[in-house]
Amino acid sequence: MDFLGFLVTECLNALSQAALLFFLGVGLTLIFGIMRIVNFAHGAFFMLGAYVGYTAVSVTGNFWVALIAAPLLVGGFGVAFELGILRQLYRRDHSAFLMVTFGLTLIMGEAIRLLWGVAALQVPAPKSLSGIVFILDEPFPIYRLFLICAGIVVAIGIWQFLERTRLGLLIRATAQNAEMVHALGTDVRLVRSAVFGIGCGLAGIGGVLAAPLVTASLGMAPNAVIDTFVIVIIGGMGSFAGSLIGALLVAFVQVFGTYYFPDLALALMYLVMLTVLVVRPGGLLGKEA
Amino acid sequence: MNTRTGFTRRTAIRAGLAAVAAPALLRYARGETPIKIGMPLALTGPAGEIGLQMRHGAEFWAKQVNTKGGLTGRQIELHVEDTAGDPATCVRKAQLVVERDNCHLLFGMVLSSEALAVVPKLADWNTIFMSSDNGDGRLTGSSFVPNFFRANISGPMETRAISLWLRKADFKKFYALGMDYAWGHNSIDVFSDEVKKAKKDLVGTVFSPIGTTDFSTYITKIRQSGADACFLVLQGDDNNAFLSQAHEYRLSDKVQLITSIVDLNSIRAVGDAAIGLAGSTRYVFTIDNPANKAFVAEWRKEYNALPDVFEGEQYQACQMLQAGIEKANSIDADKLRPALETAAIDSIKGHVAMRACDHQAVQGGYIVKVEKVAGAKLPVPQIIATLPGDEVTPACRQMTFDS
Amino acid sequence: MNGWLGLAVTAFALALAPAGLPPYAMTLLTEALILGLFAMSLDLMVGYTRLLSFGHAAAYGLGAYTAGNLLLHTSIPMVFAVLLAGLFSGIVAIGVAWVCTLASGVSFSMLTLAIAQLFYAVAFKWTPVTGASDGLAGIPRSPGPFGITFFTDKIGFYYLVLGCLCGAFIFCRSLVRSPFGAVLQGIRENEAKTRSLGFDTRHYKIAVVAISFALGGLAGALYAPFAGFTNTELLFWLFSGQVLIMVIVGGAGTLIGPIIGAAFFMLVSNLLSSWTDSWALFFGLIFICFVLFAPQGIWGLATRWFGRRRAPEVKGKRWRSLNWTG
């Protein structure tokens, strides 16, 4: 394996990881931007996505159905949770959200265990994507290239959605000044429900996409939630572009760091976060300190 | 929760209420109290899969013994508690079953870190702990305590079995990837020692943190090393993620993957990605002896499934304890200990004998290769080599091997 | 004065507990009190200064590993080892706090998380001191000084824990009622205003983090000889999250609430998990119910029940003021 081949392979690996992290991070950061809450249950929504994906794949035999069904179901569940519980808490402080979402994580984890069992489940990638291509004589999985493309498509999609659509405009406005939006005659509550649903749905997509790489398992939620926190914090809470940069930074540091300093693998992410926050307390693109 | 046999604390209480039937009363009157065995297990959390298997194994045995009239005339009562795989909770729960439920026999403890935290307390509790899955070599080495017995194969023994098999295979250059955890370090230490003795090359070693989800970098390292075989010490989610991703990169086209433990659950989780995987196994349903055939048949009748690694290992540990109790005709630690030290059984894995010097059960090692079998939905681990117990087991209280 | 009477009665009842409780209940109670001390130490930061720490497990772990090493490798009597370990946590905390207080709000929380996770990573790698993933096992309860062996048995150890908790409680209570405590509460309500009054709020914040870590470290240091082992799990972020929940469930900013919250958390999770494998389901439901129906936590409920006049408006304000964004 020559150096160029190595470099290209590892960069692609990092990009595919960044895509997965981005699906998680962008949802969390949107939710934070609008609702000012830290959604501790984000990892659980991610996990739910993987399990729903498993069922969809095993019932229909079609990965693409899973990719549509999971975000809809997970997003729908998110909206229901927002309407049923979170909505009553907006006048309360962060600790209330922390506890509610922590509680929800426990409940979802156990519900998934009861519904799907304790054993890890296989979600195979679709046949058309499970091959390999040779890049500079190095084999590279097509599925990972697909992940990168999916990441790019979704990133552009969300960006355009935020910039071009009316709901996107409302979301940005609400993030800036919710009271003003409310005063101008828009029901901010609807915007919040929508954003929470979208955020959870994105986590759900992430779950389905990650499942062929890691299988659907009960360990997904705790692993994911902390990674997501880190990238969102690095990018700056509430910043869409920040979550993208955070995901890229963490993925590249993780991939190359693990290669050159395998003993630091566990600490790398936190070292990056520490450095960023010490230099810029609000995160790279964050506004508040 | 599982309700198939449900010999948990809850049902034990229910059974206790139901036991107000006359024969039971008579038995109690004669002083034949049930044999209570505490079982702190990780039933939830990442290790929950193993915990559940261990519970099944023990419940299956308890049911078998109880329907035959009990052990030395006494019924078996299992007191299962969930530790969630957390050592602090495990210590608390172990103390609970000892102090509250008055169990002076222990099974369970899925993780070595849990077992290492509990064993120093066994003497105070006057309690015997029969391990069925703890792999850490130190439990029968530097951390040995007299009330600890290990019926299962340890990590060093698994690795030794693989190494002995590899001496005859024509792989020259090895790479080793282990979980950054006691079991991983332990096994890889033994492995590198064995590779040296075989005059072969260990070209690289790397440890991945527990909970690693992306193994692409590790796979690159393995490919770059030019090794023709890679020794893996991974378990659970990490193992499944690695195997899925190794398959993605077609790693096994170039490198023979050899794992220290092959189990059905991960084969189920990764499917065809497991084909071609070779490795040691602590127990596999394809072991060819009459005791195992009977066990598998009965197990299928009970659970409508094949027994997995930790179910078989737990069953063997139960039988070992049973042999000790029958010999001592007591569960008192001071009487049971000497009886267990010389206990031997013809188990589902063949002849297994406890030895007195470090309380490790001497037993053979099995090497399997995962193969696609016509008619079976999932690949099946087929035995390709069996290694004798005296070669696989280290010298007393040792973790490495002399020759 | 009424409050002191209630506390005295409670302390007296706890002191008599060993006479009436079976051994396993004493085990649980001892651990509950240790966790209570831990949660109370966090309350100084969370409830009184609005410093939401996501990494308080670092304090506990530091204390536990320090005490573990002292007890395993030296012959220092346990009582001193425990106090030294607490002190050590407090000193380390000055450095931690210096870094973390560079930021405020969510960023402060995340910095504490990052540092705690770094400690976790270090514990995994620094094998000679931490025993890596195995942790330290077989930690003894060294007797002394002057050959006193009272604290080494179960009941004696319980009294040691109870003594530490009572001492720490009295200390914290006087602290929050002192001028120092008033500044802390000023920071909680409005940091900018407090600063403009001429207080260097950052110094106060570093001080409170150090005190909080010292007491949290004391709790961890008690845990090491109590359980006889330490493990990396004691430093894991999940544990930081749990102790935060304990504080909130009990009632932040009340000192006594978090102690009750910790006991509640431990005893209920223990009871539930003995009763059903699906304990997490019920545990999660309990949290959500608390948020919806008992926003002031257990202590808030209790005080309302017993009709003590603790103006609820003040409480409401305190709760809202826990917001990161103010």
pLDDT score at A181: 86
pLDDT band at residue A116 using 50, 70 and 90 as cut-offs: very high
Which residue in A133, A259, A262 sits closest to B224, CA to CA? A259
Option in B206, B250, B265 nearest A119 (CB): B265
B355 touches chain C (CB under 8 A): no
Find chain A residues with C-beta within 8 A of C102's C-beta. Answer: 277-278, 281
At residue B1, does pLDDT exceed 80?
A: no
Report domain extents, chain B: 35-153+288-363, 156-281+366-392
pLDDT band at residue C131 using 50, 70 and 90 as cut-offs: confident
**Chains A–C, number of C-beta pairs less than 8 Å apart:** 137
Strand order in the sheet with B350-354: B344-347, B350-354, B361-362
Mean pLDDT of A165-182: 87
Euclidean distance between CA atoms A138 and C280, whole angstroms: 46
Which CATH superfamily groups domain B156-281+366-392? Response regulator (3.40.50.2300)
Mean pLDDT, all residues of chain C: 87
Mean pLDDT of B210-232: 92
Taking an 8 Å cut-off on Cβ atoms, the answer to whether B46 and A219 are in contact is yes
At residue B308, does pLDDT exceed 70?
A: yes
Residues of C (153-192) whose Cβ lies below 8 Å from B: none
Mean pLDDT of C187-207: 89
pLDDT band at residue B19 using 50, 70 and 90 as cut-offs: very low
Option in A99, A107, A278 nearest C248 (CB): A99
- Name the token pair of C294: 């008992």
Which residue from A minimizes the CA distance to C326?
Answer: A93
At residue B5, does pLDDT exceed 50?
A: no
pLDDT score at A288: 56
Q: What is the DSSP letter of C228?
A: S
pLDDT score at B31: 54
Report domain extents, chain A: 3-220
At residue C324, does pLDDT exceed 90?
A: no
Mean pLDDT of C237-242: 90
User: Could you give the angle at which helices B155-168 and B182-197 cross, rounded to 10 degrees?
Assistant: 30
Chain B positions with Cβ closer than 8 Å to A: 44-46, 48-49, 52, 180, 206-209, 211-214, 216-218, 220-221, 223-224, 236-237, 240-241, 244-245, 248-250, 265-266, 268-271
The answer to whether residues C90 and C207 touch, using CB atoms and an 8 Å cutoff, is no
The β-bridge relationship of strands B105-106 and B76-82 is unpaired
pLDDT band at residue A1 using 50, 70 and 90 as cut-offs: low
pLDDT score at B338: 93
Mean pLDDT of B385-403: 87
Q: What is the DSSP letter of A264?
A: G
Mean pLDDT, all residues of chain B: 87
At residue C179, does pLDDT exceed 80?
A: yes
Taking an 8 Å cut-off on Cβ atoms, the answer to whether C288 and A103 are in contact is yes
Q: Which residue has the tokens 């989800």?
A: B213
Euclidean distance between CA atoms B244 and B240, whole angstroms: 6
Taking an 8 Å cut-off on Cβ atoms, the answer to whether A140 and B249 are in contact is yes
Taking an 8 Å cut-off on Cβ atoms, the answer to whether B248 and A122 are in contact is no
Q: List, for residues C255-303, the tens digit of each pLDDT value.
A: 999 999 999 999 998 888 888 888 889 989 998 998 888 888 888 888 8
Helices (H) and strands (E) in chain A, counts: 11, 2
Least Cα separation, residue B216 to chain C (angstroms): 21
Residues of C (51-90) whose Cβ lies below 8 Å from A: 52
Q: How far is CA B256 from the centre of its chain?
A: 25
pLDDT score at C2: 62
pLDDT band at residue A188 using 50, 70 and 90 as cut-offs: confident
Find chain C residues with C-beta within 8 A of B91's C-beta. Answer: 227-229
Residue B380 has phi, psi (to 5 degrees) of -120, 135
Which residue in B285, B291, B400, B295 sits closest to B347, CA to CA? B291
Residue B378 has phi, psi (to 5 degrees) of -110, 155
At residue B375, does pLDDT exceed 90?
A: no
Helix (H) or strand (E) holding B173: strand B173-179
Domains B35-153+288-363 and B156-281+366-392 belong to one CATH topology: yes
Mean pLDDT of B82-101: 90
pLDDT score at C62: 95
**Chains B–C, number of C-beta pairs less than 8 Å apart:** 83
C284 touches chain A (CB under 8 A): yes
Q: What share of chain B is helix, strand, coil (3-state, %, to 5)?
A: 45, 20, 35
**B176 beta partners:** B205, B231
Q: List, for residues C1-22, the tens digit of each pLDDT value.
A: 466 787 888 888 888 888 888 8
Q: Which residue has the tokens 């431990």?
A: C266
pLDDT score at B184: 87
Helix (H) or strand (E) holding A215: none
CA distances from C192 to B193, C177, C201 (A): 63, 21, 9
Q: List, for residues C28-55, the tens digit of each pLDDT value.
A: 999 999 999 999 999 999 989 988 898 9
Residues 6+ apart with CB under 8 A from B17: none
Q: How many CB atoms lie within 10 A of CB B64?
A: 17
At residue B350, does pLDDT exceed 70?
A: yes
Which CATH superfamily groups domain B35-153+288-363? Response regulator (3.40.50.2300)
The answer to whether residues A28 and A242 touch, using CB atoms and an 8 Å cutoff, is no
- State the chains in contact with C (3 or more Cβ–Cβ pairs under 8 Å): A, B
Mean pLDDT of B340-354: 91
